[in-house]
Structure 1
Amino acid sequence: MPLRRAPAALAAVLACLAGAGHATAAGCGPLTVAMYEHGALYYRQGEQWAGIDKDIVDELARRTGCELRMTRDSRIRIWTMLKEGTLDMTMSGIPTAERETFARFTPYLQARNMLLLRNEAARSATTLEQIAAQPELKVAVIKGFKHGASYDSWLERLRQQGRVFEAPDYATLVRLFQHGRVQAILQLSSNIDVLQRDKALAGRFRVLDLVPRENVIGAMVVSRLVAETHTGKLEQALRAMRDDGTLKAIMERHVSPERAQAMLAR
């Protein structure tokens, strides 16, 4: 009798295993989302981390059911890991031809680079040419950032004169500016509100919008090694968040309503 029942028992076990495999395949994640500190997009708030990108990732997880695990890392390491296939996602990524070979981009915000100039420097220089003409004025940028054709060309001229500091991250960039080691920094318009609220900087700098036509697009970035079904879920949810107003509402938690409206990617 036991021998005759064995095939039926084996079939039941195989069915259970098949069911478990199907459930695993149908699940979404865990996917690791690496974040880096960058103004209103991701910043420390007391002992916690906050920001537009964090809120977006939380909402994406809620809507899709995907398990999205947020970690922090440097921007340079994030792009290296995505290229090597050891990271699943990041946010606020700027698409390039090379990056699109190893990741998919879904735009959700736009901004442009603005020049922040300490008040004492702004008394004698308010244009790129005026700043370039004063060798004592120095600029800091985050290492590896691209700022658009006009700013990048201008920065290259200053680099040849030893006037550009390459900060490893956002926090270092702000400290250089705060302590007067440099007189100017370049920042995305999405970060201006946070910097103007910073007690150590408030009232100590001017914001110059010198290249208004060169917008920067920020996108959700998903490795091409992530299953297309998972990527499709996330992309669909992000687009729905824009259409139903959730994306704008998230931005307004961290920036002014006017800036939030301007940041929505068209």
Structure 2
Amino acid sequence: MAGWLAVATAQAACTRPINVPMAAIGVSVNFDESKAVGIYPTLLREVAASTRCQLDMHKVPRARLQTLFDAGQADMLIPASATPARDAIAEFVPLIQVRVSLLTLDADAAVPRSLADLLAQPDYKLAVVRGFSFGAAYDATVAALRQRNRLIEEPDPSGVARALRQGLAQATVMTASIMVGTLVNDTELQPLLKRLRIEPLEELGWSASGLYLSRRALGEADRRTLRTAFGQAARNGRIWQLFNEHHPPGSLGVSIRPLPTPP
């Protein structure tokens, strides 16, 4: 960690405090009262120290976070998957590669193998986090299930885990590391770890996850400073190190991996 921090210490400070609302998402982002803790808050504090930028983190619901960002009232959206709608208003900085999967509890071999199969099963319900987006195929499936009254929408991953435990839905679709981190972090939900099953879906392969820097709220100089610092954390493996420190050994391979090394 000290090595990559030293690389960026000569960078200029941001021109103003950076507004970073955040939503709880397992061990990636959590809150000890009002203090943000977890993988991404740790990374943000390291970037703040290296760049001499002031990064102001505060808690908001996930759906509210997206609304603030869309309106230009948030400088950063983290963590986030790349989508065309976000690309139109912000600059994406990749940090890690993720694979979104179908997650079930004690499911048998009859689980859907694709989003198309899932939609074709009239009694199959999905539980999702309101405000999550994992690309066009995911968004279209969620919209179709909502229209057919087959969608359970929760404010956070803990709510999704409880909906699965109560049998309100048969599955969820998200990055497995999000659910694993949520279950690890909640003593009430920890027993579900042994029941969790992870199945790939044909339409959802590996993709980049990272953060967005708002073009509506941030000037080019501040975006360049932050882009450089976060990019360095991805290239030198710091973000991958943080994920491994916060998850059970061997739990990341099917859902998360470092960015490919450039040729």
Percent identity (aligned): 27
Q: Which amino acid aligns with 2:103?
A: L
Match of 1:176 in 2: 163
Q: Residues 28 and 65 of structure 1 are in contact (CA less than 8 Å); yes or no, is this contact kept in structure 2?
A: no
State how many pairs are aligned.
241
Q: What secondary structure, in the 3-state scheme, does the structure 2 residue paired with 1:141 have?
A: strand
Q: What secondary structure, in the 3-state scheme, does the structure 2 residue paired with 1:145 have?
A: coil
Tell me, in whole angstroms, the C-alpha distance in 1 between the residues paired with 2:147 and 2:63: 23
1:219 partnered with 2:210: yes
- Cα distance per residue 1:173-217 (max 9 Å; x no partner): 222123222221112133243256342412223111233752332
Tell me, in whole angstroms, the C-alpha distance in 2 between the residues paired with 1:203 and 1:46: 29
Q: Residues 122 and 206 of structure 1 are in contact (CA less than 8 Å); yes or no, is this contact kept in structure 2?
A: no
Q: Which amino acid aligns with 1:246?
A: R
1:143 partnered with 2:130: yes
**Cα distance change, pair 131–221 in 1 and its aligned pair in 2 (3 A):** closer
Match of 1:104 in 2: 91
Q: Residues 196 and 203 of structure 1 are in contact (CA less than 8 Å); yes or no, is this contact kept in structure 2?
A: no
With normalisation by structure 1, the TM-score equals 0.75
1:82 partnered with 2:69: yes
1:32 partnered with 2:19: yes
Match of 2:252 in 1: 259
Q: Which amino acid aligns with 2:76?
A: M
**Greater Rg, structure 1 or structure 2?**
1
Tell me, in whole angstroms, the C-alpha distance in 1 between the residues paired with 2:35 and 2:54: 20
Considering only aligned residues, what root-mean-square deviation do their CA atoms show, in Å? 3.2
Q: CA deviation at 1:28?
A: 3.9
- Cα distance per residue 1:147-169 (max 9 Å; x no partner): 44555565566445422212233
With normalisation by structure 2, the TM-score equals 0.76
- Cα distance per residue 1:110-159 (max 9 Å; x no partner): 2111111121x426546457766665442111234334455556556644
Q: What secondary structure, in the 3-state scheme, does the structure 2 residue paired with 1:87 have?
A: coil
Q: Residues 42 and 52 of structure 1 are in contact (CA less than 8 Å); yes or no, is this contact kept in structure 2?
A: yes
- Cα distance per residue 1:222-260 (max 9 Å; x no partner): 222313222211111112223333222222211347737
Unpaired runs of 5+ residues, structure 2, are 1-11
**Cα distance change, pair 212–137 in 1 and its aligned pair in 2 (3 A):** closer
**Cα distance change, pair 40–116 in 1 and its aligned pair in 2 (3 A):** same
